[in-house]
């Protein structure tokens, strides 16, 4: 069969994951994504990056992008008309690409959603500043609101960098050892097991004996059990979901570890 080393279909030869970032601070990109794995992948054309200056879509001579909040209060709000023009421009260049707004009001980003996004044509990311976006933009355009955690950043740009990093490392040919992606935290709904390396004894602490046994079945069983113990202790929320998924799977209602629809 023909095809390339990764997809066997030749599709990836012509497909590049296209990232477009709408921001008031384009100089923040590619930032950390210009080095290491992501930087090399960018140079190799495995993903592409366009930044769009939101201010270029202002409609007044002062290039205003924000205004005071209706009803009063602190801060400024990004104008829906300016944002819509920037989003429409990006969609014109990349039709059928999901548009995501980075905001602490969004749905929490998951590894399952990252995987879906990484397997698509790319993403258009809208980065907010100030108090946020005029809410009407979300009624007027198909935009998914995404949060990277229950913390408040000074703007959406660091969140966009995180989302892109998570997607890029999953692109075909970006990560050295593909299996290290499948076994890591969240891929099966659990935290990954702990790792050790040389020296065998460090500050009086040894590596668990089983890892030096050479018995691969025993090692796999130990890792599975550590992964479960750590998830139960550190992330009871993940553990409950994992248990629930197993019960549902046993009753045939849902496949094991399958996430609910996003």
* Residues in touch with ligand ADE (CB under 6 A): 102-104, 147-149, 151-153, 156, 159
CA angle 250–254–256, rounded 5-degree value: 65
With contact defined as beta carbons under 8 Å apart, do 126 and 102 qualify?
yes
CA 157 – CA 178 distance, rounded (Å): 28
147 vs 227, beta carbon nearer ligand ADE: 147
87 vs 211, beta carbon nearer ligand ADE: 87
Kindly state the smallest distance separating residue 253's Cβ from ligand ADE, in Å.
Answer: 32
213 vs 262, beta carbon nearer ligand ADE: 262
Kindly state the smallest distance separating residue 128's Cβ from ligand ADE, in Å.
Answer: 6
Kindly state the smallest distance separating residue 191's Cβ from ligand ADE, in Å.
Answer: 21
Kindly state the smallest distance separating residue 251's Cβ from ligand ADE, in Å.
Answer: 36
* Radius of gyration of the chain measured on its C-alpha atoms: 22
15 vs 80, beta carbon nearer ligand ADE: 80
Kindly state the smallest distance separating residue 148's Cβ from ligand ADE, in Å.
Answer: 4
CA 194 – CA 172 distance, rounded (Å): 26
For residue 54, give every residue at least 6 positions away whose Cβ sits within 8 Å of its Cβ, in sequence order, or none: 22, 23, 24, 65, 78, 82, 83, 86
Asked if residue 199 has a cis previous peptide bond (ω within 30° of 0), the answer is: yes
125 vs 245, beta carbon nearer ligand ADE: 125
139 vs 152, beta carbon nearer ligand ADE: 152
Pairing type for strands 144-147 and 99-108 reads parallel
CA 87 – CA 52 distance, rounded (Å): 9
Kindly state the smallest distance separating residue 102's Cβ from ligand ADE, in Å.
Answer: 4
CA 101 – CA 83 distance, rounded (Å): 11
């Amino acid at each position: 069969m023909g095809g390339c080393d990764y997809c066997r279909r030749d599709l990836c030869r012509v497909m590049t994951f296209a990232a477009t970032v709408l921001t008031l601070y384009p100089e923040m990109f590619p930032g950390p994504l210009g080095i290491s794995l992501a930087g090399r992948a960018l140079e190799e054309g495995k993903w592409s990056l366009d930044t769009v200056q939101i201010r270029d879509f202002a409609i007044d001579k002062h290039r205003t992008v924000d205004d005071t909040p209706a009803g009063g209060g602190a801060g400024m709000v990004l104008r829906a008309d300016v944002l819509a023009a920037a989003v429409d421009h990006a969609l014109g260049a990349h039709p059928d690409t999901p548009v995501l707004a980075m905001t602490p009001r969004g749905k929490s980003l998951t590894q399952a959603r990252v995987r879906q996004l990484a397997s698509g044509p790319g993403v258009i990311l809208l980065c907010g500043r100030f108090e946020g976006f005029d809410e009407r933009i979300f009624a007027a355009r198909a935009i998914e609101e995404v949060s990277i955690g229950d913390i408040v950043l000074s703007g959406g740009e660091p969140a966009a960098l995180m989302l892109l990093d998570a997607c890029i490392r999953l692109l075909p040919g970006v990560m050295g050892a593909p299996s290290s992606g499948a076994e890591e935290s969240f891929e099966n709904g659990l935290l990954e097991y702990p790792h050790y390396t040389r020296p065998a004894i460090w500050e009086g602490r040894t590596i668990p004996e089983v890892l030096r046994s050479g018995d691969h079945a025993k090692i796999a069983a130990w890792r599975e059990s550590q992964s479960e113990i750590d998830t139960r202790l550190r992330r009871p929320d993940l553990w409950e979901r994992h248990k629930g998924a197993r019960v549902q799977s046993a009753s045939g209602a849902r496949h094991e570890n399958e996430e609910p629809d996003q």
